[in-house]
Amino acid sequence: GDPHDGFLAASEASAECVLQVRFVESATISDIGVLLGPIGGTITAGPSALGIVQVSFVDAASRDAAREVLAARSAIVDLISND
């Protein structure tokens, strides 16, 4: 049968609905959850060696709206990238 049994690994999330985000070192899990929850973001990979996490969204429109919210939160968000 299918090795994934109908599920995709988080690393296989659609690239068009993902942002790569690095939060400031002082950001807590609670801070990040409070920020991502209302904008529909879910951490699906990471953090990498550079501290970057992959944040996935249900669609590109949600991702684009979230990018604006994240960009405005420089006290918590250090870096945002589409890839």
Residue 1: is its pLDDT beyond 50? Answer: no
As a whole number, mean pLDDT of residues 61-75 equals 96
Task: Decide if 35 contacts 70 (C-beta within 8 A).
Answer: yes
As a whole number, mean pLDDT of residues 27-46 equals 96
CA angle 55, 77, 25 (to 5 degrees): 100
**Alpha-carbon distance 54 to 22, whole Å?**
9
pLDDT at 15: 64
* pTM exceeds cut of 0.85: no
